[in-house]
Structure 1
Amino acid sequence: MTRYVGSKWKKTAALMRERELSEYVPETAQLSKSSLHSLLRKYEMVYVKPVVGMHGNGVMRVERTTAGYQFQSQDRIRSFTHFDDMYRSILVQTRKKRYLVQKGIRLLKHNGRRFDIRVMAQYSPNRQWETTGIIGRVAAKNRIVTNFHGGGKLVAASRLLAEHTNYVYPKLHSLSKLGVKAGKAMQQAFPGVYEIGLDVALDQSLRLWILEVNTSPDPYVFKKLPDKTIFKRIMRYAKMYPKKRA
C-alpha cells in the first residue's frame, strides 16, 4: 500500500544521501540548545520545525537582532536580550515534541509577502517519476509559512517567477527535474512512496532550496490552476496507487 512518511528528519536524511540533491538541502540539525545557538551564529536566521507536523503548524522563525534575539510563531513576535531566555521560551512552544532547526532561507516576495513553490511529482503509469504540477504559494500577511491551510494564497508559479527573472521556463524546468530526482530518492529510501509534494524556496539569487518533502500531498491545490488538465492527470495517477496507510 502507499506509504506515508511523517518524520522530516528521516526525509531530510534521505535527501542528503543523494549527491544530486544534498546541495539543495539547507543545513539541518535536531533541535538542541547548542545546535540552535550554532546555526544562529552561522546564518543569523533559522527555522525551527516539528519533526512530525503538517500545514506549517508549530513552525518558528528565529533571528539574531541588533538588540539580541527574536522568534516568530504564527503572527506573534517575541523579543529577548539573552539567548538562554529565548531558548526557554521556544521550549515552551515545542511542548516537549521533537523539533528540527534549519538554515533560514530569505524567500522571494510577491506584493511584500513571502512565497515558495510546491512541486508535485508522481510515479506514472509508465513506471517512471514525473513532475505533474507546479504551483506558487504566497504567505498570508505577516505569516512565516506559505501553506494554503494557514491562510496562504495559491498563485501560478510562472507569474511569481516572472516578477524576479526573465528566465521563467528554464527555472520551471529546473523545478520539474528536482521533483523527479526527489521522488526517486524518496521511493528508494521508503519503498511504497508513489507521490510527493516538494516545497522549494528561491532565495535572493534565485537559487533553489528544498524546504520539505510531503509524502501525502494535497492534490486539490492544483485545481486552482487555469489548466484543468493538470489536476485531472494528478488525480488519474493517484487513483492507480494502493490506499494510503500510515
Structure 2
Amino acid sequence: MRIQRVRSKWAKTKVLNRSSDLRPYVPLTKRFNREMLRSMLDEHSMVYVKPDSGTYGKGVIRVEKTNEGYSYQIQKDGRLAATFDGLCEELQRYTGKKGYLIQKGVYLLKHQKRRFDIRVMIQKNLQNEWETTAIIGRLSHPSNVVTNYHSGGTMVTFEKLMSEHLSSSEISAYRNRLNKLGASIGRQLSTAYPNLKELGADIAIDTKLHPWVLEVNTKPHPYIFKILSDKSIYRKVRKYSLAYGGMKNKRSN
C-alpha cells in the first residue's frame, strides 16, 4: 500500500486541533488575509506567515510589531515597514502567489544566542503502532528566520541544546515527554489519513519550556539522524522505514 502524503499544513493543523489533548500544543494558526494579520499582530505582536505547502522553510516570513512599525524577515533579509499598509504591500509579493497561513509566533529557546527547534521522527513500528524513534535539534543560522538544514541550520543533539536550560535528569524527562507527544501526533493524524507511515514533527520550545507543534511533515528526511553518536537510533529509523518502503526515493521535507 502506498504511503500517504499530505502537503497542506492547514489540513494537518485542523486535524491536530480536533484532539483536546493536542490542542494546547498547537500555536494559533489561521488562513492569511489582511484583517487576520492585523488582528494576530495586535494580539501576539509576533507571527510567522508561511505557505500552506512547501519544504525547506522556503517562503516563511517572520513579522513583528515594534515601536518603529513592522519588522519582517524572510530568510536572511530583514526589513522594516513604517505602516501596516506598507507591510501588506510588501507581503503581497509572496502571499499573492499561493495560499498562506498566519501562525502565532513562538519565542524559541536559544543555544549560544542562536534559536533552535526540535525535529521529532515518528514512525509506524513493526507492530503497526506509532512510535517516536528519533529526536534531534536544529540550530538556526545566526541571521536566518528558520532552522532548516537547507537554510543554513545545523543539526545538534537534543541533549546539547537543552543543557543550558535543564539538568541531565530533566532533559531525560523532557525527552520522554516529546516521545509521548510524537506518538500522540501520529495517532491523531492517522484518524484522518490512515495510510500515513512516518512523520517529522517540528517542535518549538518556548522560553517557559512549553513545546509547540509548528508543523508536521509527511515526507521527513531520515538521514539527518546519521550524525547521532548512538547508531542504534538511525538503525531503528531505517529498519522501520524499509519495512513500509519509506526509504525509497526519499527527499527532505
Partner of residue 46, structure 2: 45
CA distance in 2, matches of 1:109, 1:242: 36
Partner of residue 203, structure 2: 200
CA distance in 2, matches of 1:96, 1:135: 33
Post-superposition Cα deviations, 1:46-88, rounded to whole Å, max 9, x if no partner, equal 0000001001000000000111111100111111111011011
SS of the residue 1:175 aligns to: helix
Post-superposition Cα deviations, 1:196-236, rounded to whole Å, max 9, x if no partner, equal 00110111110111001001100001001011111111011
Identity %: 44
2:125 aligned partner, one-letter code = S
Partner of residue 27, structure 1: 28
Q: What's the offset of the Cα at 1:151?
A: 1.1
1:109-124 equivalent positions in 2, closer than 5 A:
109-124=110-125
Does structure 1 residue 78 correspond to structure 2 residue 79? yes
Partner of residue 137, structure 1: 138
| More divergent stretch after superposition (50-59 vs 187-196) | 187-196
Q: TM-score, normalised by structure 2?
A: 0.94
1:47-196 equivalent positions in 2, closer than 5 A:
47-166=48-167, 167-196=170-199
**Runs (4+) of structure 1 moved beyond 6 Å?**
none
Unaligned 5+ runs, structure 1: none
Partner of residue 238, structure 2: 235
1:4-23 equivalent positions in 2, closer than 5 A:
4-23=5-24
CA distance in 2, matches of 1:233, 1:149: 24
Q: What's the offset of the Cα at 1:242?
A: 4.4
SS of the residue 1:89 aligns to: helix
Post-superposition Cα deviations, 1:182-207, rounded to whole Å, max 9, x if no partner, equal 01111111121011001101111101
Which residue of the other structure, out of 213, 216, 234, is the alignment partner of 2:216?
Answer: 213
SS of the residue 1:211 aligns to: strand
User: What is the aligned-residue RMSD (CA, Å)?
Assistant: 1.2
Q: What's the offset of the Cα at 1:94?
A: 2.8
Q: TM-score, normalised by structure 1?
A: 0.97
